[in-house]
Amino acid sequence: MARTAVGIDIGGTGIKGAIVDLDSGELLSDRIKKSTPEGGEPDAIVAVVQQIVDELGLDDASVPVGVCFPAAIMDGKTLSAANVSKKWIGFEAEKLFETTLGRGIHFVNDADAAGYAETRFGAAKDVKGLVIMTTLGTGIGTALINDGVLIVNAELGHLEIGGKDYETKASFAAKERDDLSWKHWAKRLQKYYSHLEALLYPRLIIVGGGVSKHHDEFLPLLDLRAEIVPAKLRNNAGIMGAAALAADSNPAF
């Protein structure tokens, strides 16, 4: 029988979950997706997560459950909030999820979950050294993985370049806001990724987010020391990474 875990991916517009085969990364259930409640407040979001867990038919309390969330997380507490209610800031989030679901969970930042999934099942599988996962969307999410070990809460989208928080210049939202061509946007990305390389010397950079499906429009325009490739797992990365981290953090599993 396949080793399985459940991954739940919470975003500003949608919440999705599935049962994951931990050996292959394959989803063993339909992916259930529901809209994030308007306002994104804690009780409302946790209620939707409960609905998804119920619909997945998760009766076995020994199956690990991972939840990823758009915030920096420390000791189960959300220290920031992106595209959800500011009530999450400084909130005992993990405790609320565990009380509501009636089971332990593993709680992790969403970019960290996506990066870990790419390491286990995707573009960074078997890559040694430092890998940086970046997600280009409303902002720039980042994850650092060194020799397969996740370094949590790396908010490198907020690097200051030229006196500006550079995700405000180089995110996909900035491309759309400023109506940039692929070539013009690539110039901003070049400045961002070159600065990232100067600080960390990664072996591999992975580019995720919805725009990564158009990677052939902008990645070939970048000139970097490290190899830079599109993410492979797309919209399932958060689910897969949250599930894998939940299993890996469970000593009994």
Domain extent listing, the chain: 4-112+236-248, 126-231
CATH superfamily of 126-231: ATPase, nucleotide binding domain (3.30.420.40)
Residue-wise DSSP of 186-243: HHHHHHHHHHHHHHH--SEEEEESGGGGGGGGTGGG---SSEEEE-SSGGGHHHHHHH
126-231 and 4-112+236-248 share a CATH fold:
yes
In the block, tokens 């990564």 appear at: 212
Question: How far, in Å, CA of 134 to CA of 40, rounded?
Answer: 24
pLDDT tens digits, the chain, 253 residues: what are they? 579 999 999 988 899 999 999 999 999 999 999 999 999 999 999 999 999 999 999 888 889 999 999 999 999 999 998 889 999 999 999 999 999 999 999 999 999 999 999 999 999 999 999 999 999 988 899 999 999 999 999 999 999 999 999 999 999 999 999 999 999 999 999 999 999 999 999 999 999 988 999 999 999 999 999 999 999 998 899 999 999 999 998 766 5
Question: How far, in Å, CA of 233 to CA of 25, rounded?
Answer: 9
Residue 241 near residue 206, CB atoms below 8 Å: no
Q: Which fold has domain 4-112+236-248?
A: Nucleotidyltransferase; domain 5 (3.30.420)
